Amino acid sequence: MYTDEKHKNNNQSERNLNPAPVGLYLNNARLAFSNIPIFENLSAEISAGKWTCILGPSGVGKSALLRMIVGLGPKDPVTEISASDGSSLTEKISWMAQQDLLLPWLSVSKNVALGSHLRGIKPNKEKVSSLLNDVGMYKYCNDLPKILSGGQKQRVALARTLMEGRPIVLMDEPFSSVDAITRSRLQELAAKLLTNRTVLLVTHDPLEALRLGHNLFVMSGKPAKLGPVMQPADNIPRDPSNYSLQKIHSSILSQLETAVTESK
Amino acid sequence: MSRIRPFIILIGLLVVWQLIVTFSQVAPFILPSPLSVLVSAMDRIDELAKHALITTLEIIIGLFSGTVFGIISALSMVYFRPARSWLLPVLVVSQAIPVFALAPVLVLWFGYGLLPKIIMATLIIYFPVTAALYDGLRRTETGWLELAKTMGASRFSTLWKVRLPSAMPAFASGLRVATAVAPIGAVVGEWVGSSAGLGYYMLLMNGRVQTDAMFAALFILAIIAVSIYFLIDKVLRKCITWQTESNSSDQI
């Protein structure tokens, strides 16, 4: 009996760390401000356990799309968002923003455990420590975020996102505010730690999308549409100097270029 | 140097004061010399201590209750929408009516004891604390609130664990202002009607033309006010260590 119980607990915590992949169906997504549509009729499948990247020029509505999915932005009644396995989406999605959003009065480890703290549950301390270890920030666990650099803060934010243990992670240009080397390290770290999660990453950086995306879409136009899916080969994180990526890179650039000229 | 500068200024002022008295031959009941004020303070040290204790008590209790009421009001204004429309007028009125005008009524209602002075100090403190905290609570970074929302935090938990801590620097500014003005409430109350406290003592000595004793009381009041201010300031700085000062070199 006792061992059974223990086994079950172990199972549960493992499932929390590595949830079964769940994809997303986006059907007929629509967003309009004062009746001018930003995007409409937008449908896409966000494949389970894969990285999907949406590229687009600023102001095209990619962030708004992400916020709509996570439940922060306005959602038109015609929009349907559902999980690929038909289950409910509550408590399945976590969100990582462009800013680290660390609370300056909480220590690094308390910031990682923020979700439990806010829901009034006792955080799993070992999980916090092991995640901080994974992102290489364990030695700062008792420090306040103000002593950290931008890249270190994003590492902590990544650990906080993982701590939520949710199968779907939405990222809104989370690596765009750090320098190129730090960005590349963060991308590698995220690719490693988010294996088997469903990730939807919004970015304006084609190289980032090429490094991390299994499925790439370009979002452009007014109202915005998603372009055809592009699927580079190889495992992520890819080496951006990889020759086979050049063709996709130029295709992305030409799509973005048309988008920018059209909007002018 | 920066530490002893206030004392140099103080000593300089005292010297100027002494020189004015010495050379202008002004009557001692108009302007006593700093030395005679000191002598007078030493003579009446027991009496002064008794009155100072009462005034300090009024200020501290007033500060405490004003802060508590302020925190409760600010939190309810943010949490309950209807409370906003009910409490905002109260807040403005509490500041618009001068305490000086209320003092006689409060003395009439609550007698000559501590209570009317505490109420007056509370009224004076209530506004800056409430206004500052309310403002701070409404200006939480939207990103933090959105993050809390995606994490499934309840409204109460967001208020308590995100909005309130983030409003602490604003609250601290309000409390500093409140601490600086708190003695006004207590002293005005003592002027209007009381049988103890430094304000009462000053009026009494004024009536007896013992200007040196009045000045002694005034100085003690100033010392109390400044000490409470620095004490509160120190506690606030200790508690809110996470706030980064954009220019840490110009600390007070």
Longest pairwise C-alpha distance within chain B: 76
- When scoring A99, A105, A110, A147 by the number of chain B Cβ atoms within 10 A, the one with the most, hence best to mutate, is A105
User: What's the token pair of residue A67?
Assistant: 């916020």
CB contact under 8 A, A101 and B162: no
Distance in angstroms (rounded) separating the CA atoms of residues A174 and A53 = 12
Residues A18, A196: contact at Cβ < 8 Å?
yes
Task: For residue B248, tell me if it sits in a domain.
Answer: no
Task: For residue B97, tell me if it sits in a domain.
Answer: yes
Residues of B within 8 A of A105 (CB-CB) are 165-166, 168, 240, 242
pTM above 0.80, yes or no: yes
CB contact under 8 A, B151 and A105: no
Range of the domain at B79: 32-239
Kindly report the length of chain B: 252
Compute the average pLDDT of residues A104-126: 93
The residues, any chain, with a CB within 8 Å of residue B58's CB and separated by 6 or more, are B114, B117, B118, B121, B185, B186, B189, B190, B197
Amino acid code (one letter) for B200: Y
Residues of B within 8 A of A165 (CB-CB) are none
User: What's the token pair of residue B125?
Assistant: 């403190």
CB contact under 8 A, B146 and A94: no
Distance in angstroms (rounded) separating the CA atoms of residues B205 and B182 = 23
3-state secondary structure of B148: helix
Residues of A within 8 A of B248 (CB-CB) are none
Nearest by Cα to A162 from A189, A202, A201: A189
- Residue B239 touches partner A, C-beta closer than 8 Å: no
- pLDDT at residue A264 above 90? no
Residue A228 has what pLDDT? 83
- Residue B152 touches partner A, C-beta closer than 8 Å: yes
Distance in angstroms (rounded) separating the CA atoms of residues A202 and A71 = 16
Task: For residue B119, tell me if it sits in a domain.
Answer: yes
CB contact under 8 A, B157 and A118: yes
Q: How many CB atoms lie within 10 A of CB A52?
A: 23
Task: For residue B188, tell me if it sits in a domain.
Answer: yes
Q: How many CB atoms lie within 10 A of CB B209?
A: 13
Task: For residue B228, tell me if it sits in a domain.
Answer: yes
- pLDDT at residue A22 above 90? no
- When scoring A118, A144, A168, A200 by the number of chain B Cβ atoms within 10 A, the one with the most, hence best to mutate, is A118
CB contact under 8 A, B147 and A144: no
Residues of A within 8 A of B157 (CB-CB) are 118-120
Distance in angstroms (rounded) separating the CA atoms of residues B73 and B123 = 13
Residue A76 has what pLDDT? 81
Task: For residue B90, tell me if it sits in a domain.
Answer: yes
Instruction: Name the band, by pLDDT with cuts 50, 70 and 90, for residue A18.
Output: low
The residues, any chain, with a CB within 8 Å of residue A252's CB and separated by 6 or more, are A55, A206, A209, A210, A216, A218, A230
Amino acid code (one letter) for A229: V
CB contact under 8 A, A119 and B157: yes
Which one has a higher pLDDT value, A107 or A40? A107
Residues of A within 8 A of B153 (CB-CB) are 118-119
Distance in angstroms (rounded) separating the CA atoms of residues B195 and A126 = 63
For residue B150, give the nearest of A72, A99, A103 by CB distance: A72
Instruction: Name the band, by pLDDT with cuts 50, 70 and 90, for residue A4.
Output: very low
Mean pLDDT of chain B: 89
Longest pairwise C-alpha distance within chain A: 69
Residue B68: give its domain's CATH number. 1.10.3720.10
Q: How many CB atoms lie within 10 A of CB A125?
A: 10
Amino acid code (one letter) for A11: N
Q: How many CB atoms lie within 10 A of CB B27?
A: 11
pLDDT in tens, A208-250: 888 888 898 888 888 888 888 888 877 878 887 777 778 888 8
Kindly report the length of chain A: 264
CB contact under 8 A, A105 and B165: yes
- Residue B248 touches partner A, C-beta closer than 8 Å: no
- pLDDT at residue A172 above 70? yes
Sign of CA pseudo-dihedral B231, B232, B233, B234: positive
Give the chain B residue nearest A113 (alpha carbons). Answer: B151
Residues A245, A85: contact at Cβ < 8 Å?
no
Residues B146, B84: contact at Cβ < 8 Å?
no
Task: For residue B20, tell me if it sits in a domain.
Answer: no
* Chain A to chain B Cβ contacts (< 8 Å): 57
Residues of B within 8 A of A114 (CB-CB) are 147, 151
Q: Omega before A237 cis (within 30°)? A: yes
CB contact under 8 A, B151 and A101: no
Residues of A within 8 A of B149 (CB-CB) are 71-72
CB contact under 8 A, B146 and A72: yes
Pairing of strands A51-55, A80-83: unpaired
* DSSP, res B244: P
- Residue B241 touches partner A, C-beta closer than 8 Å: yes
Distance in angstroms (rounded) separating the CA atoms of residues A60 and A42 = 13
- SS (HEC) of chain A: CHHHHHHHHHHHHHHHHCCCCCCEEEEEEEEEECCEEEEEEEEEEECCCCEEEEECCCCCCHHHHHHHHHCCCCCCCCCEEEECCCCCCCCCEEEECCCCCCCCCCCHHHHHCHHHHHHCCCCCHHHHHHHHHHCCCHHHCCCCHHHCCHHHHHHHHHHHHHHCCCCEEEEECCCCCCCHHHHHHHHHHHHHHCCCCEEEEEECCHHHHHHHCCEEEEEECCCEEECCCECCCCCCCCCCCCCCHHHHHHHHHHHHHHHHHHHC
3-state secondary structure of B162: helix
For residue B143, give the nearest of A90, A94, A99 by CB distance: A99
Task: For residue B26, tell me if it sits in a domain.
Answer: no
- pLDDT at residue B107 above 70? yes
pLDDT in tens, B34-79: 888 999 999 999 999 999 999 999 999 999 999 999 999 999 999 9
Residue A15 has what pLDDT? 41
Q: How far is the alpha carbon of A117 from chain B, nearest alpha carbon, in Å?
A: 8
CB contact under 8 A, A118 and B153: yes
Distance in angstroms (rounded) separating the CA atoms of residues B70 and B87 = 11
**b or e along A145-179 (b: 16 or more beta carbons within 10 Å of the residue's beta carbon)?**
beebeebbbbbbbbbbbbbbbbbbbbbbbbbeebe
Residues of B within 8 A of A143 (CB-CB) are none
Distance in angstroms (rounded) separating the CA atoms of residues A50 and A232 = 12
- Residue B146 touches partner A, C-beta closer than 8 Å: yes
Task: Give the rounded distance of the alpha carbon of B91 from its chain centre.
Answer: 18
- pLDDT at residue A109 above 80? yes
Radius of gyration of chain B (CA): 22
What domain count does chain B have? 1
- pLDDT at residue B247 above 60? no
End-to-end CA distance of chain B: 13
CB contact under 8 A, A103 and B241: no
- Residue B166 touches partner A, C-beta closer than 8 Å: yes
Return residues 79-108 of B near A (CB < 8 Å).
none
pLDDT in tens, B190-199: 888 888 899 9
Which one has a higher pLDDT value, A139 or B1? A139
- Residue A118 touches partner B, C-beta closer than 8 Å: yes
Among A13-22, A69-78, A190-199, B66-75, name the one with the lowest average pLDDT. Answer: A13-22
Residues A146, B244: contact at Cβ < 8 Å?
yes
